[in-house]
Structure 1
């Protein structure tokens, strides 16, 4: 896949998730303010997955994506991120006050991406 194709898919995903930006921001904030984790991760998926707590159910909302709220700690516990890679992940994790960390699972595979937070919730 070319860089321009990746950019186009990223932009499309950002548009599709725009209606859920506020709820994703609130979920990430709850994880941090309740001292659950300094590393909230929102799992964006199209199939059933046992990772995180459901925030948006695509069946109930009749949308393309479901969203679960999770953390780096859960990813490590379930070995989605290996113990050796935790420090590397923390090093690339963007400022959680400015960005949301998404783990997107789609027909293209699974990827971490960061999108700007909702302006309203800051």
Structure 2
């Protein structure tokens, strides 16, 4: 029993880190964001707009409407969100995608502040 106790450090001493829940094949660096062949042309357009506006460290754009392009899930991690409340972060993303969002039925948006 003593060997089991020594194998595990207290939780406070452990460095715990959880990646945001994203589809691994849809996680992009800024440089490769628009070059992924698994993206549709429309998804590439959305990624391009978001990369230009926020210079994210990671971004995911996924059509969750079954392919018709009416609902998207977007996760974006950027230093541009530092110091801003979540509502303001979401408003900034919605402003960048305003013309596109008008065409959609829904948007699942998750913004994350990139801490250096």
TM-score (norm 1): 0.26
In the superposition, the TM-score normalised over structure 2's length comes to 0.27
The structure with more strand, counted as a fraction of residues: 1
